[in-house]
């Protein structure tokens, strides 16, 4: 859990800069606002501010009015910076304007920082991404790397979680990183409820490809949706790539190509991710021994589950279980 466990809610601040993109600006309030614990208790409170408390120009044909200025940033636990198409000197030569620098100086040390899309330029200009992995919209990645040479820019992923600093690609990837944070804070059951309420995918791994050349397959080419649904019903079985191809009635090569076109990863990567997600859910919601969780998630043995879970989230199954069992108590 984060440092705010003794508060009623985790306070999320959203900083709206001139030129802000309305869609991404609205994501934190929508996603975090949908996260509730036992009895419908809100788990987050979201406050949106501008630098001076005045109206903010958007990149659409309207302005927005906020009720707070940047002084509220002194009391947030997570700060989200949505993208703007009017970052001026930040994107031109990597400098922060004085008013923005002053606003960021209000943020307490240890506050979790999240940038959506070109919000990464703000964090980079503030020195918060130096020598750290980060991403942004694939179209802006080269400029981010050119301006901030010490940042380890990865243009191919949906989001990067580097602990206290997270960056994401644009648009829907902003949804992904916020759902990911709910999952990280409170576990998969609550994150899945948020996703269901907001009608968004419950889980897309941060390492999934940003740019999928054929996101919607042509009708004549078929698709993998039916095979993915079939596999999800059989995660506890030893599914091979040939089994998936046989169900789809295509060759392994064709299946692999279609998976990459539709979900941005290979069938094996997708299957492993779904099994990790099943294992995490079972660790959070059952008292089953690790070996039994491993069998039901399709890993076969506890040893295999330990290896895969450690690779995915950096902890052993029992440590993961204790963490989210404790979270459930704190949020009840």
- Summarize pLDDT for 32-51 with one digit per residue, the tens: 999 999 889 999 999 999 99
Cβ atoms of residues 166 and 123 within 8 Å? no
Strands 63-64 and 56-57, bridge-based pairing: antiparallel
Backbone angles phi and psi of 80, in degrees to 5 = -110, 130
pTM for the whole thing? 0.78
**With the CA atoms of 46, 49, 54 and 56 taken in that order, what torsion angle do they form, in degrees rounded to the nearest 10?**
-90
Q: Model confidence over 125-166: pLDDT tens digits?
A: 999 999 999 999 999 999 999 999 999 999 988 999 999 999
What separation in angstroms does the CA of 183 have from each of 31, 198, 200, 320?
11, 15, 14, 12
Residues 6+ apart with CB under 8 A from 224: 248, 255, 258, 259, 262, 263, 267
Mean model confidence pLDDT for the chain: 89
- C-alpha distance across the termini of the chain, in Å: 14
């Amino acid at each position: 859990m984060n440092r705010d466990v003794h508060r009623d809610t985790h306070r999320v601040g959203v900083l709206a800069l001139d030129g802000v993109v309305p869609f991404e600006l609205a994501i934190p309030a929508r996603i975090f606002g949908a996260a509730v614990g036992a009895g419908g208790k809100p788990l987050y409170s979201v406050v949106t501010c501008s630098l001076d408390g005045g109206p903010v120009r958007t990149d659409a044909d309207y302005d927005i009015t906020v009720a707070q200025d940047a002084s509220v940033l002194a009391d947030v636990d997570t700060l989200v910076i949505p993208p703007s198409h009017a970052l001026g000197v930040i994107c031109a030569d990597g400098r922060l304007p004085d008013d923005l620098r002053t606003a960021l100086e209000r943020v307490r040390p240890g506050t979790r920082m999240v940038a959506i899309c070109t919000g990464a330029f703000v964090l980079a200009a503030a020195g918060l991404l130096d020598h750290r992995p980060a991403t942004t919209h694939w179209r802006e990645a080269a400029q981010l790397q050119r301006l901030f040479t010490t940042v380890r820019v990865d243009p191919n992923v949906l989001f990067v979680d580097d602990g206290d600093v997270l960056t994401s690609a644009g648009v829907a990837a902003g949804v992904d990183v916020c759902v990911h944070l709910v999952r990280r804070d409170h576990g998969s059951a609550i994150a899945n409820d948020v996703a269901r309420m907001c009608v968004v995918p419950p889980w897309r791994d941060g390492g999934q490809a940003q740019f999928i050349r054929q996101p919607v397959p042509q009708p004549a080419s078929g698709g993998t949706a039916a095979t993915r649904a079939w596999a999800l019903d059989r995660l506890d079985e030893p599914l091979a790539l040939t089994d998936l191809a046989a169900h789809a009635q295509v060759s392994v090569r064709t299946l692999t190509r279609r998976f990459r076109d539709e979900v941005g990863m290979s069938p094996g990567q997708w299957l492993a991710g779904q099994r990790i997600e099943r294992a995490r859910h079972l660790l959070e919601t059952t008292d089953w021994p690790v070996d039994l969780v491993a069998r039901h998630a399709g890993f076969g043995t506890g040893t295999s589950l330990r290896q895969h879970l450690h690779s995915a989230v950096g902890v052993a199954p029992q440590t993961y279980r204790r963490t989210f069992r404790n979270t459930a108590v704190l949020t009840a």
